[in-house]
Amino acid sequence: MPGWISQYRKDVYSQVKYLQGLRLPKSGCIRSGLFVGSGDSYTCALLMEYLSKHTMLAYYPSDLLHCPQMLSDHEIFFISASGRTRSNIEAAKIARKFEIKTTAVTARSKSALGEACSNTINLDYLHHGQSSNTGILEFTATVITCMALIGININLNSLDRIMNDARSQVNLYGVDLTRRPPSILFLGGGISYPLASYGAFKMHELFGFRSFGYLLDDYYHSPIFSLKKSDCVFVLDHSNVKNSMSANFHNQLKKIHNRSYYFQPKVRQSLFEQILFSIFVVQILSLTIAENLEIDKPYYLSNKKILKLSSSLIY
């Protein structure tokens, strides 16, 4: 097994240990405001909007740059593990001019974003000495921290059980992707939708696959007509009821498309457990695909020109 895959496997499964070292902010200390981020951080922001029943709103930093008037009367939480994303920093500086309360949610409190904001929530967890360059621990820690902020009950003692549930469901399918599929689709409804986008991002970054995260309501209105026989479809369900919309859709799709896979948390799980289940499913799926392909590094590191362009636009 290539060294990178071994490290990635360690990153995925050791999260249970490292995340239990999180020192979480005071639960439910905010009631309304904006969560701002891009990339994975925007999927976290959008997840907070869904979990808060839209009392919190998700925005890209460019939204604030183009329309700073929306800042009025909002507390703003800028999500960036690195604290280096340029658009976040610029938006935070504009918010300061409007005398808006701003908080950086970051793993680096002394970063440029931390300095631009009036407060900082540090993603305080015990990190590995090495990393597989996937940012999965940072993402999971960010989601848990933000969930605590909006008052979602957090039970870090349940992480091992959730991880085992996700692992058993992925292993049940034995997903085999030994060659590049035309597309990999992640579908979700409600709070599963932001995590469908997260799944697509991982496929882009790690494997260079064409991948999409769709809201289930939108998917069967139009994108379903582009479905190819060899496409993979992963349905993430946050609901624990037997006949949910996602379950019914998957059961019907499976009759005409055999590369459709369905993941549902066990019954009577909390919102925290439902969210962590879907995150772990995405991460274990990506690990399984990496092992099947026997890759020696994430795809985004293999194209230096595109990586340089991406970094120049982000940082």
Residue 99: which of 75, 63, 66, 65 has the closest Cα? Answer: 75
By the 10 Å C-beta count (0-12 exposed, 13-18 middle, 19+ buried), 268 is classed as exposed
- What are the tens digits of pLDDT across the range 121-149? 988 655 555 566 788 999 999 999 999 99
Place 180 in a pLDDT band, splitting at 50, 70 and 90.
Answer: confident
The structural domains of the chain, ordered by start, are 3-154 (3.40.50.10490), 156-293 (3.40.50.10490)
- Overall average pLDDT of the 57-62 stretch: 95
Count of alpha carbons within 13 Å of 53, Cβ hemisphere only?
4
Q: How many of the other CB atoms lie within 10 Å of CB of 19?
A: 17
Determine contact, residues 47/188, Cβ cutoff 8 Å: no
- Residue listed under structure tokens 């994430």: 298
Beta bridge partners of 184: 211, 232
User: For residue 73, what pLDDT band results from cuts at 50, 70 and 90?
Assistant: confident
At residue 125, the 3 state secondary structure works out as coil
H or E segment to which residue 162 belongs: helix 159-173
CB-based contacts of 305, cutoff 8 Å, min separation 6: none
Q: Which of 109, 135, 123 is nearest to 12 (CA)?
A: 135
Distance in angstroms (rounded) separating the CA atoms of residues 151 and 31: 9
pLDDT one-digit tens code per residue, 206-221:
999 999 999 999 999 9
Compute the average pLDDT of residues 25-49: 88
Distance CA 264, CA 246 (A): 9
- Percent pLDDT > 70 in the chain is 93
Instruction: Tell me the C-alpha distance between 295 and 291, whole Å.
Output: 7
Q: DSSP class of residue 255? A: T
22, pLDDT greater than 80: yes
Specify the length of the chain in residues: 315
Q: Indicate if the pLDDT at residue 67 is higher than 90.
A: no
Report pTM.
Answer: 0.93
pLDDT in tens, 96-108: 888 889 999 998 8
